């Protein structure tokens, strides 16, 4: 470390100490309150008193110390777990709306109980947003007895619940739910025709678990509610055939980041001949050009078993961050159809979009949020800039003694694979447990195959089954266990040495604890650290090592190989490359990629923020019609809501149409973002008049004498979609374009 970096480190350390001091002062006050001598009845009575005080107007900050002391005592009686000091500090940091970094296995689930309890005292509901449905159920059940002891209600939300069950779950003081479920429920609420169908209360406070995954990796994933069936009318199979006939390098090419395709002149001519359409670039052919681009993209950039799998005749997208099958996810319309056509699967219409919201905007609807994760520091700037959340690093309960070894770097894939298998087999012979994080389903299968040949039995985790996955991951610390998983499978589940058996735990600790191996470097150091963090929990021994080769996707995609001396690129060798220059280069590249991705997300936000603002205005006006307005008859209300929803849905279709082609504006020397804003503002301004006219026209024809229930809305052509469905859009496609055209 040179002088400047030592200085920076010193300033940073002092700042961290300063922040921690504030929370340790709180901790001191909490520990001075003695609750241990009260019997259960008295403790419950104290909790009741506290609730009344808050309801009579005392602020949460005023009662924090007492509330945390009571909740901590309750947890230790009901669960047998007395919160560690560091958990109490984390709890205070959570209450103050921070992003709390706590290592895996430090007990975030319990730390969240104190702020959830405190904020729930206001009676407006608290959401604990978990990583998946399984954890929502598990955590609500696990922590539930503490809240109930304290006189509060707790519930979790699961897929498949009825409206009434959801209403009850959200009416609880504390609700454990995934952001996706909460978001889909929110979207359903935004098109409810009756107040009795609404399931959410106004949002109050959310504690986001595994927050980096949600707030960064998935933040821009749009949640969608769709209804009615509308076919795009594209002949996908023909386009897929044409895409197969075009040759890479001759007819089309990639941009340098391999994120987008474009047709060459020869390719355009060939496609025009095959399609018999004349000039593809004429406006009348723009839908064909878009469909062809999608088909080429699907053919050349999206790979089976890397980007998606085919299971039971269905296309399922693999989440690039977790490496698992992402249920309920679509690519944007054209691309989805193109991949289905490529694979010869019947294309199902994704319907007409009735409403959409990104996870980031969903979270902005909560007046207060805080987050917790094992890996926040690497993305601290992004948390601050995007969400106004400060990262607070909570020290571990026991010092972390995991050893993170330098990566081993090889020239080519085969050498890397051989080295991996050799290392795993050697370590496995000692019965030390090993967890291996791979980059794709394909790679995990390939490695498992090689391990089988080397007579090393292993568990492979690459399919989506949260419950089973949790079970396998929990056993990954047992003697002799070898677990091959994709990226971050099993987030939120603790790996204990010996799988929970204390005698075995000692044996595993003697062998060195859990050994984590990464088979590639990720785009973000944060994700690498997430994998490393599976080992060395609660002061356990452990170690980690990454294996990298110069043929890895990340290195190729970002042109890093150019930075590597030519001799290494051309001369393959079986032994690892030892030059330390490689280590520095790898870290440098990772920092550049992280920065690039952050910039890209910021630019993408420029687009979604404006639509979000419009959504907010539209939603407010809709709420006014649904709840506050008594001057309208029920029939008029229905008609007005019907047209409001319809014009909003048309507006969304228009926005996505504009969005698809807006990058072309830069060819005409116009700023795509300005042009986009200009057009959608103009379109949005037309909505109220259109709604007014349509409503008046419909009402003049309608016999409104009866109640709304007596009118046959279907016959009148004014029936709201009775069948709706929800899904997520994989927006990588949009990101890819954003990167190319810099909009």
The Cα-based distances of 113 to 145, 164, 175, 508, 614 in angstroms read: 11, 26, 12, 32, 36
The answer to whether the annotation marks 707 as part of a ligand binding site is no
Q: How far is the CB of 120 from ligand ADP (least distance, A)?
A: 19
| 84 in contact with ligand ADP (CB under 6 A) | yes
Size of the site for ligand ADP (CB under 6 A): 14
DSSP string, 278-346: S-TTSGGGHHHHHHHHHHHHHHHT--BTTTEEEETTEEEEBPTTT-SB-TTEE--HHHHHHHHHHTTPP
Query: Three-class SS string for 373-403?
Result: ECCCHHHHHHHHHHHCCCEEECCCCCCCCCE
| Distance from C-alpha of 337 to C-alpha of 31, rounded to nearest angstrom | 60
Residue 464 near residue 325 (C-beta atoms within 8 A): yes
The total number of residues written for the chain in this structure: 743
Residue 490 near residue 473 (C-beta atoms within 8 A): yes
Q: Between 108 and 520, name the residue whose CB sits nearer to ligand ADP.
A: 108
The answer to whether the annotation marks 573 as part of a ligand binding site is no
| 81 in contact with ligand ADP (CB under 6 A) | yes
The answer to whether the annotation marks 109 as part of a ligand binding site is yes
Query: Given the rule CB under 6 A, which of 76-84, 164-172, 272-280, 560-568 is the region that contacts ligand ADP?
Result: 76-84
Q: How many of the other CB atoms lie within 10 Å of CB of 615?
A: 20
Q: How far is the CB of 5 from ligand ADP (least distance, A)?
A: 30
Q: How far is the CB of 18 from ligand ADP (least distance, A)?
A: 24
Q: Between 107 and 433, name the residue whose CB sits nearer to ligand ADP.
A: 107
The answer to whether the annotation marks 36 as part of a ligand binding site is no
Q: Which residue is nearest to ligand ADP (CB)?
A: 107
Single residue of 82, 475, 557, 606 touching ligand ADP by CB under 6 A: 82
Q: Between 75 and 511, name the residue whose CB sits nearer to ligand ADP.
A: 75
Q: How far is the CB of 532 from ligand ADP (least distance, A)?
A: 14
The answer to whether the annotation marks 108 as part of a ligand binding site is yes
101-130 mask for ligand ADP (x: CB under 6 A)? -x-xxxxxxx--------------------
Q: Which residue bears the tokens 């409403």? A: 355
Nearest one of 375, 699, 351 to 528, comparing CA atoms:
375
Q: Between 87 and 234, name the residue whose CB sits nearer to ligand ADP.
A: 87
Q: How far is the CB of 472 from ligand ADP (least distance, A)?
A: 16
Q: How far is the CB of 109 from ligand ADP (least distance, A)?
A: 3
Q: Between 27 and 315, name the residue whose CB sits nearer to ligand ADP.
A: 27
Q: How far is the CB of 258 from ligand ADP (least distance, A)?
A: 35
The answer to whether the annotation marks 576 as part of a ligand binding site is no
Q: How far is the CB of 84 from ligand ADP (least distance, A)?
A: 5
| Distance from C-alpha of 667 to C-alpha of 662, rounded to nearest angstrom | 10
| Distance from C-alpha of 453 to C-alpha of 433, rounded to nearest angstrom | 19
Q: Between 350 and 530, name the residue whose CB sits nearer to ligand ADP.
A: 530
CA angle 682, 688, 690 (to 5 degrees): 90
471-510 mask for ligand ADP (x: CB under 6 A)? -----------------------x----------------
The Cα-based distances of 578 to 170, 407, 408, 410, 414 in angstroms read: 56, 10, 8, 9, 17
The answer to whether the annotation marks 107 as part of a ligand binding site is yes
Burial (CB < 10 A; 0-12, 13-18, 19+), residue 595, is exposed
In the annotated binding site for ATP, the residues are 87, 105-109, 494
Catalog residues that contact ligand ADP under the rule CB under 6 A.
81-84, 87, 102, 104-110, 494
């Amino acid at each position: 470390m040179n002088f400047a970096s030592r200085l920076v480190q010193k300033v940073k350390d002092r700042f961290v100490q300063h922040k921690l001091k504030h929370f340790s002062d709180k901790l001191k006050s909490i520990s001075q309150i003695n609750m241990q001598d009260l019997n259960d009845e008295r403790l419950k009575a104290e909790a009741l008193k506290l609730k009344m005080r808050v309801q009579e107007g005392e602020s949460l900050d005023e009662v924090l110390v007492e509330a945390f002391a009571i909740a901590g005592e309750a947890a230790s009686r009901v669960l047998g777990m007395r919160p560690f000091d560091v958990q109490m500090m984390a709890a205070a940091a959570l209450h103050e709306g921070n992003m709390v970094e706590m290592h895996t296995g430090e007990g975030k689930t319990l730390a969240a109980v104190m702020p959830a309890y405190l904020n729930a005292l206001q009676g407006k509901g608290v959401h604990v947003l978990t990583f998946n449905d399984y954890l929502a159920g598990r955590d609500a059940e696990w922590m539930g007895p503490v809240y109930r002891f304290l006189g509060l209600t707790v519930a979790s939300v699961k897929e498949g619940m009825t409206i009434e069950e959801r209403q009850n779950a959200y009416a609880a003081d504390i609700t454990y739910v995934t952001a996706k479920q909460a978001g889909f429920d929110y979207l359903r609420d935004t098109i409810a025709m009756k107040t009795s169908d609404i399931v959410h209360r106004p949002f109050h406070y959310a504690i986001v678990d595994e927050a980096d995954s949600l707030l960064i990796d998935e933040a821009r994933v749009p949640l969608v509610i769709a209804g009615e069936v509308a076919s795009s009318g594209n002949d996908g199979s023909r386009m897929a055939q044409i895409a197969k006939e075009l040759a890479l390098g001759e007819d089309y090419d990639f941009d340098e980041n391999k994120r987008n395709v474009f047709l060459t002149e020869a390719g355009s001519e060939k496609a025009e001949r095959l399609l018999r359409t004349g000039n593809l670039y004429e406006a009348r052919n723009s839908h064909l050009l878009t469909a062809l681009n999608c088909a080429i993209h699907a053919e050349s950039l999206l790979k089976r078993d890397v980007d998606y799998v085919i299971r039971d005749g269905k296309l399922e997208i693999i989440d690039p961050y977790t490496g698992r099958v992402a249920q309920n996810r679509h690519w944007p319309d054209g691309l989805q159809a193109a991949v289905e056509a490529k694979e010869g699967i019947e294309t199902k219409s994704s319907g007409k979009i009735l409403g959409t919201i990104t996870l980031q905007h969903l979270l902005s609807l909560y007046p207060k949020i805080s987050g917790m994760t094992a890996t926040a520091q690497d993305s601290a700037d992004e948390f601050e800039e995007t969400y106004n959340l400060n990262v607070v690093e909570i020290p571990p309960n026991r010092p972390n003694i995991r050893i993170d070894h330098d990566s081993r770097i090889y020239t080519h894939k085969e050498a890397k694979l051989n080295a991996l298998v050799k290392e795993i087999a050697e370590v496995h012979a000692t019965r030390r447990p090993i967890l291996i994080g791979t980059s794709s389903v394909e790679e995990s299968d390939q490695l498992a195959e090689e391990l089988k040949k080397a007579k090393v039995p292993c568990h492979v985790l690459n399919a989506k089954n949260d419950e089973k996955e949790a079970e396998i991951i929990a056993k990954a610390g047992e003697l002799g266990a070898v677990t091959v998983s994709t990226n971050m499978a099993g987030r939120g589940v603790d790996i204990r040495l010996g799988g929970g058996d204390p005698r075995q735990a000692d044996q595993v600790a003697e062998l060195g604890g859990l050994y984590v191996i990464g088979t590639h470097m990720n785009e973000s150091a944060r994700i690498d650290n997430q994998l490393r963090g599976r080992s060395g929990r609660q002061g356990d021994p452990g170690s980690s090592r990454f294996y990298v080769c110069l043929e890895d996707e990340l290195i190729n995609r970002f042109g890093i190989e150019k930075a590597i001396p030519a001799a290494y690129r051309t001369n393959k060798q079986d032994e690892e490359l030892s030059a330390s220059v490689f280590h520095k280069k790898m870290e440098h590249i990772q920092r550049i990629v992280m920065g690039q991705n952050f910039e890209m997300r910021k630019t993408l936000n420029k687009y979604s923020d404006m639509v979000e603002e419009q959504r907010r205005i539209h939603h407010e006006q809709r709420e006014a019609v649904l709840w506050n307005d008594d001057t309208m008859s029920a029939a008029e209300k229905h008609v007005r809501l019907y047209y409001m929803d319809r014009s909003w849905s048309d507006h969304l279709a228009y926005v996505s149409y504009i969005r698809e082609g807006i990058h072309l504006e830069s060819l005409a020397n116009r700023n795509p973002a300005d042009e986009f804003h200009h057009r959608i503002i103009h379109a949005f301004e037309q909505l109220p008049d259109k709604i007014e006219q349509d409503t008046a026209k419909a009402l003049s024809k309608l016999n409104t004498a009866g109640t709304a229930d007596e009118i046959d809305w279907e016959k009148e052509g004014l029936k709201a979609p009775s069948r709706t469905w929800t899904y997520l859009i994989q927006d990588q496609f949009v990101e890819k374009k954003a990167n190319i055209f810099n909009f």
